[in-house]
A = this chain, B = another copy of it.
Amino acid sequence: MNDDWLDRIKWTADGLVPAIAQEAGTGQVLMMAWMNRESLRLTVQEGRAIYWSRSRKKLWRKGEESGHVQRVQDVRLDCDNDVILLSVEQIGGIACHTGRHRCFYQQLQGTSWVDVEPVLKDPAGIYGGKGGG
């Protein structure tokens, strides 16, 4: 596979790029995570979102434990070549490790963050109590 397309990207000093996952059907922004060169290459090769976990310092195959895989339909790059936008199908309808549809469930109301989206599934039931994505 020709890797010129990966050279176009302006990676951070840590070799990462932010990747936004947007749900294809609804247009909802599900989450933002980080990718390194290897994870972006694999994302495109395999057609599923594979991020770089900064906390665990390893590849994070989204859905590897939960089954909540993100099938990638479209990959975009912004004008500064430093942000990726994925259009994805969210298998299982749950992107967030809290068991919610998406990670952006805290809404600013006045000067308070309020949880405005329901937990669809108990995380203990998703991960068997292990946590993770």
A: residues with CB less than 8 A from B are: 1-5, 8, 18, 20, 22, 26-29, 31-32, 44, 74-81, 83, 85, 96-98, 100, 103-108, 111-113
Selected from B1, B27, B111, the residue in CB contact (under 8 A) with A2 is: B111
Task: Please list 11 pairs of residues, one from A and one from B, whose beta carbons are closer than 8 Å in the complex, sorted by A's number.
Answer: A1-B111, A31-B78, A74-B107, A74-B108, A76-B105, A78-B103, A78-B104, A78-B106, A79-B97, A83-B103, A83-B104
Copies of this chain assembled into the complex? 2
Task: Provide the bound-state CA to CA distance between A56 and B26, in Å.
Answer: 36
Contacts A5-B113, A29-B85, A113-B5; is A76 near B18 (CB within 8 Å)?
A: no
